[in-house]
Structure formats: C-alpha cells, structure tokens
Amino acid sequence: MSIVEHAIKGWQSIPFSKVAIDDAFWRPRLAVLKNVTMKVCLSHCEETGRIANFAVAGGLLEGKFEGIYYNDSDVYKVLEGAAYSLMTDRDPVLEAEIDRIIDLIAAAQEADGYLCTYYTLEAPESKWTDMEKHEMYNGGHLIEAAVAYYEATGKRKLLEVACRLADHYDSVFGPDKRHWAEGHEEIELALVKLYRATDEERYWKLALWLLEERGHGHGVGKIWDTPDWGPAYCQDDVPVRDIKEVKGHAVRAMYLYTAMADVVHASGDTAYIDALHRVWAHTVERNMYVTGGIGPSVHNEGFTHDYDLPNESAYCETCAAIAMVFWNHRMNLLFGDGKYADIVEREMYNGALSGISLSGDKFFYVNPLASKGEHHRVDWFGTSCCPTNLARFLPSIGQYAYAATDDGVAVNQYMNSETVLEVGCGSNVKLKQTTAYPWDGRIELTVVPDRTDKFTIKLRLPGWCRGYKISAQGEQVSGLEGRPENGYLVLNRHWVPGDSIVLELDMPVEVVRSRPEVEANLGRFALQRGPVVYCIEQTDNPGLSFDGFALSAHEPLLVEHRADLLGGVTILHGKEADGDGRPCVFIPYYAWDNREAGFMQVWVREGEDRHLYKY
C-alpha cells in the first residue's frame, strides 16, 4: 500500500453506552472492574493524598501537596472510569462519592481557570516554566473525565471546570501568544473530546496549534537538555507532519498520534495523513511485540532501535498498550481499515489485559514476555498511571465493538452484545451478536432494522484469520461479496427484521514466528489461537525450567476449554520435542501470574521435529 493514501472515511464511534455487553469473557471482567478495581483505585487515591491535594489547594483542608506533580491525573482517570461505569450501571453511592471529589476539584481551580494542585501548592510562581511538569497532561485528563461524567450523568459542574481550564490555556497560549510543547501529550486528544462535547471549534483548533508547536525548538525543561533523551523523548524533535519513525516515550508517542488522528477526523485536513501512515507502519511492523506490547526499554519507557524486542527485559508499559488501542481505534474510524481494529483486538486480549489480575486489584506496570519468576502484579504504584488507565479503559471496552459508516455499520470486535444505531438512510437498526469469542470463531449476528431497508454491514475479518465461511439471510455468501475489502466483509443488502448473518472464522492454533531481525526470537516460536497469545507458566509445568525445554512447531496441540481455570480459559496441551517428551501446558498470556509464582515464556525454543516432510 502506498503510504500516500488520502482517503478519509471518517466513520463515527458508537459510544460504549449504546452497547449492551452480555459476554462470558467481558461481563465478569466489567463486574470486577466496578466492584473491585474502581474501589481500590479510589481508596488508593484517597490514602496517598491524591484526593486531599485538591481539598488543600482549594483551601478546604490544611496541609501540603503530597506525592508527584502528575498525581492529579490519576484521580481524573478514576473519575473517568467511574463515569463509564455509571453510564451503563447507575450507582447512587458511587455517584455521590464522585460528586464529592468533583467539588474538591472545582474548589482547587484558581480564579483564572488554572488547575494543577502541584503548582498551586508547591510552586505557584513557577507555572508554565517547565514543559515536562505535566501541567497540561493533568488538564487533559481532567477534560476527559469531565466529558465522560457529563455524558454519564448530565451534570455540568466538572465540564464547566474543564471548559474554564481549556479557555485559560487558550488565553495564555496560541498564535501571537506564548509557545508551548507539552512534555507528555494528552491535552491534544482531550481538547478534541471537549470540542465534540461542546461543539466549540476553538478546542480542536487549540489542539491543532499545540500539535504544530512541536519540533520547532520551543521545548523547555530538564528533559530537553538531557543528552540521552533530548527532544525525541517527548516527540519534540521534528514537526509532527514530518514524523517518519516512532521514537521516545511510548505512551507519549501514542497519545500524540491519537491526537493527530483526532484532529484529522475533526478538521478534515489531510496534512498529517502521510505521517500517520508512516509512523503506524514503523511502529507495528518493526517495534511491536506479538502481545501488542510496545516500548522495550525501561530507560526511557519507550523505543530504542528497530527490531529491539527483548523478552525478559521487555518494558511494554500497560498504558502504552492501552494507548495503542486509543490510536488504532481512531485510525480505524479515520481510514475504515480493519487492520487498525486488529491491533485494538490484539491489545484487548493480550498486552493491555495482562495489566490487571483476575481479582481486579493487582496490576502490572511492566509486561515482559518472559520472566524467571520474580515479576508480579502489585497493589499500586508511586506512579500509578497504569491501574487508573485500566480503570477507564475496561469499562468502555464496548465502544470498540461497532462503528457507524457512511452507509451502515462496521462490526469491529466480536463479543456477545447488542446495539442500536441509525444507519445511513435514517432507519434505526438493532444488531445482536452471539458468540463464544475469543474461544470460538463462530459469530451470529441478528439484524433488526425498524423497517426493511438497504444498508451495508461490514464485518471485520481478523488479520489472524486465514479461512472463513459466511452466510447471510440463510444462504452461503460467495464470490465478490464474500471477499474482504480493507479487512472487512461488506454486505450491502436489503435487510429485513430478523435477518441473520453467520460468520465462521477458522480458529486454529497458529505457530507465530518472528522476523529474523528480532534476535531475541531466533530459533523460537510463539503460539496464538484466534486473538489470544499464549504463554507457558511454571505452575502448570512443574517439570520444566526457564528456557530449559524445547517444542516442535509441528507437534499437534490439544485444545481444552477449562471453565474452572483462570476465570474460564482455553488452554493448549503440548509436549517437549526433546528429552522425555514431557507434557506441557500453555495458558493465555493475559492470565499469567494469577497463581503460584514461577517462570513464564511466550517465545519458546524450537526443538527437533519428530517427523517433518517437506515438498
């Protein structure tokens, strides 16, 4: 594909609040999220002074600033997650608690709209002097929380705080005003959200201005002067439209690209499109793990050089995987290509989901692809961006399932769910999905338009799928209609209420091999089945030791669904290629470290084949 591809599709997101999830995989996770994760996050925010900082800054409480300058953002992210929970599941107790916190936040806002408790309490004279200090990053998360809470409850208080803050930014920064290249991107995508909630175009225009500020030497702060890192660390090395390669801090880079896609979607301006295509290919084809993890290095929490994908020392921050979802979801909406939704799926079932324990109260910041047994999820972190990112990512998972196209609907993610949306010509259509995904590749879709109407239903054909069958309206689909376009099967038909579509995706166990440039994986393979990447964990394999075994890539694997294990997982039984041929068991990568500690590996050594014929 040429990287110069200017066609903007401009699909619209279907908010998760319009998607009722009744899915054996996701439903229990959403319940744990609301009942456990949300509570522990709020409680940790309380215990660590993150909430009190607002009360102190607002003069409602005696005290001083506690923690790190970006701690406000964690509270905002929990609020955003709480809003998502409330949207599908009203809860007066939780809502009252959020309202209480919102009052504290409002109190902490200064008269001119400024809001950042660290500066208000610790260094009011130093505002806007160090672009690495996350002032606008905090503000961005406030805006995202405010939009979510407004959409969930209709309450405007936090939204007004957010607008005052954004207007404050607008009054200080912009053409003929001060320069600013925020060290940690986030504000840009948040401003586009605020524009969508308020219809005020100045917000996306401010986002565009902030994007355009980058790469012109405006960056000021310690980071810019650190030789090892420099401006590339925070994507301030080149103007964004000239970006060729993914660089620097992984989460920052992903938030930047997310905002670039958002601004193209909002403005219709194609100036960033080439850069987006270039950097997407560079990220995904050379700098992404099979789990969807990105950013191999602990040093800069980010990228190093192409194909540097070590397994045991893989950093792969949970936030970076979630940020890949944000970016790829936007790319999917913008370009209408299933390859972006493929990445969303890869993160959903692997790199992002591994960040949280099945119990919902323990978290990975770092997601390696191999461990000798010392790496474990913990309750909370000093820098606790990952738990709070999970708290807002998971409850909104439904938004990735569907999108509104210009002439119908795209089904992007497969989960037992129902949605109602308006299709091109004004009909409402109810879609009901029935599936045992990700463990089974059969998906049944019931189509109920309020009147018989012609529109297009697109079904994503996942990138991992090599063979499939599809029937619609009771008959096999064949020929051109059955062939994918840009990763979708496209059914443009007259739909009658009650019509069904059955998509059967072959879901075999796949042996995944790495490019030879990835040294860490030479002589190794990984296993994937459907969207789920597998790993081998010591507790299931007491006879094996870290890297002390090898498997044959041609040995068949017994596929067993175990409802009683790890919240319900399909596991794979294999056996060693060499030695005594001892049995070995693979579990989904996302589910590791939920039982006894021990080694874990995704990429396993390839041993001799028992027999192998070739042609």
Residues lying near a second copy in the complex (CB under 8 A): 1, 284-285, 288-290, 309, 339, 461, 463, 465-470, 476-480, 482-484, 506-512, 514-515, 518, 521, 526, 529, 554-561, 572-575, 583, 610-615
Q: 438 and 530 in contact (C-beta within 8 Å)? A: yes
Q: 574 and 584 in contact (C-beta within 8 Å)? A: yes
**Cα 139 versus chain centre, distance:** 20
Cβ 456 to a second copy shortest distance, Å: 18
Count of all residues that appear for the chain in the document: 615
Q: Which is nearer to a second copy, 105 or 290 (CB)?
A: 290
Cβ 310 to a second copy shortest distance, Å: 12
Q: How far is CA 149 from CA 55, 158, 359, 543, in A?
A: 20, 8, 26, 51
Q: Which is nearer to a second copy, 404 or 553 (CB)?
A: 553
Ramachandran assignment for 390, one of left (phi > 0), alpha (psi -120 to 50 degrees), beta (any other) = alpha
Q: Which is nearer to a second copy, 73 or 528 (CB)?
A: 528
Q: 259 and 185 in contact (C-beta within 8 Å)? A: yes
Q: Residue 393: CB partners within 8 Å, gap ≥ 6?
A: 81, 322, 325, 352
| Side-chain half-sphere exposure of 203, counting CA atoms within 13 A | 25
Cβ 571 to a second copy shortest distance, Å: 9
Q: Which is nearer to a second copy, 156 or 515 (CB)?
A: 515
User: Measured between alpha carbons, how far is 401 from 267 in angstroms, rounded to an integer?
Assistant: 25
Q: Which position among 163, 385, 465, 535 bears the catalytic label? A: 385
User: Measured between alpha carbons, how far is 452 from 134 in angstroms, rounded to an integer?
Assistant: 52
Q: Which is nearer to a second copy, 498 or 542 (CB)?
A: 542
Cβ 331 to a second copy shortest distance, Å: 12
User: Measured between alpha carbons, how far is 316 from 367 in angstroms, rounded to an integer?
Assistant: 5
Cβ 578 to a second copy shortest distance, Å: 12
**Cα 165 versus chain centre, distance:** 26
Q: Which residue is associated with the tokens 């917000």?
A: 203
User: Measured between alpha carbons, how far is 532 from 523 in angstroms, rounded to an integer?
Assistant: 22
Q: Residue 184: CB partners within 8 Å, gap ≥ 6?
A: 70, 132, 134, 137, 234, 249, 251, 252, 255
Q: Which residue is associated with the tokens 């324990």?
A: 357
User: Measured between alpha carbons, how far is 163 from 194 in angstroms, rounded to an integer?
Assistant: 8
Active site residue 422: no
Q: Which position among 135, 186, 188, 301 bears the catalytic label? A: 301
Q: Which is nearer to a second copy, 399 or 552 (CB)?
A: 552
Amino acid occupying residue 100: R
Q: Which is nearer to a second copy, 112 or 560 (CB)?
A: 560
Q: Which residue is associated with the tokens 């660290």?
A: 118
User: Measured between alpha carbons, how far is 505 from 441 in angstroms, rounded to an integer?
Assistant: 5
Cβ 459 to a second copy shortest distance, Å: 12
Say how many Å lie between the first and final Cα of the chain, rounded. 32
User: Measured between alpha carbons, how far is 271 from 278 in angstroms, rounded to an integer?
Assistant: 13
Task: Give the tokens for residue 583.
Answer: 């049995």
Q: 587 and 569 in contact (C-beta within 8 Å)? A: yes
Q: Which is nearer to a second copy, 6 or 216 (CB)?
A: 6
Active site residue 385: yes
Cβ 25 to a second copy shortest distance, Å: 19
Q: Which is nearer to a second copy, 177 or 610 (CB)?
A: 610
Q: Which is nearer to a second copy, 215 or 351 (CB)?
A: 351
Q: Are strands 417-422 and 428-435 parallel, antiparallel or unpaired?
A: antiparallel
**DSSP H or E segment with residue 409:** strand 408-411
User: Measured between alpha carbons, how far is 559 from 569 in angstroms, rounded to an integer?
Assistant: 10
Cβ 1 to a second copy shortest distance, Å: 6
351 DSSP 8-state letter: I
The residues annotated with a catalytic role in the active site are: 301, 385
